[in-house]
Amino acid sequence: MAKIAMIGAGSVVFAKNLLGDILTLPELFGSTISLMDVDEERLRLVAALARRIVEQEGSCFEVQATLDRREALRGAAYVIVMINVGGLEAIRHDNEIPEQFGVKQCIGDTLGPGGVFKGLRLVPAILEICRDMEELCPDALLMNYSNPMAIICWAVNEATAVKNVGLCHSVQSTAEQLARYIGAVSPETSHWVAGINHMAWFLRFAWKGKDAYPLLFEKMQDPEVFAKDPVRFEIMKQFGYFVTESSYHMSEYVPYFRKRADLLEEFGGPVGHYYRDVYSKHPASHFEQVRREIEGRDRIELKRTHEYASSIIRAMETGEPATINGNTKNAGLVTNLPQGCCVEVPCLVDRNGIHPCYVGELPPQCAALNRSNVSVQELAVKAALHGDREAAIHAVMLDPLTASVCSLREIRQMVDEMLAAEAEFLPQFFSY
Task: Say how far apart CA 18 and CA 397 lie, in whole Å.
Answer: 37
Question: Rounded to the nearest 5°, which phi and psi values hold at 145?
Answer: -110, -5
Angular region, 396: left φ>0, alpha ψ -120 to 50, beta rest: alpha
What single DSSP character describes residue 330?
-
**H or E element that contains 354:** strand 353-356
Residues marked as catalytic: 169
Considering only CA atoms, which of 230, 218, 257, 228 is closest in space to residue 369? 257
SS3 24: coil
- Contact indicator for 28, 1 with CB cutoff of 8 Å: yes
- Alpha-carbon distance of 192 to 429, in angstroms, equals 41
Residues 373, 224 contacting (CB under 8 angstroms): no
204: part of which helix (H) or strand (E)? Answer: strand 199-207
Nearest residue to 115 (alpha-carbon basis) of 143, 84, 92, 94: 94
Helix/strand number for the chain, H first, E second? 18, 12
Q: How many residues appear in the chain?
A: 432
CA dihedral sign, ordered 98, 121, 398, 254: negative
The whole-angstrom separation of Cα 426 and Cα 411 is 19
CB 33, CB 61: distance < 8 Å: yes
Rounded to the nearest 10°, the torsion over CA 4, 6, 12, 13 is -70
The SS3 of residue 137 is coil
Tell me how far the alpha carbon of residue 201 is from its chain's centroid.
Answer: 16
DSSP letter assigned to residue 8:
T
Indicate the DSSP class of residue 361: P
> CB–CB of 378/158 below 8 Å?
no
Give the residue from 377, 389, 369, 386 showing the smallest Cα distance to 147: 377
Rounded-to-integer distance, Cα 320 and Cα 122, Å: 34
In this structure, are residues 62 and 32 in contact, taking their beta carbons and an 8 Å threshold?
yes
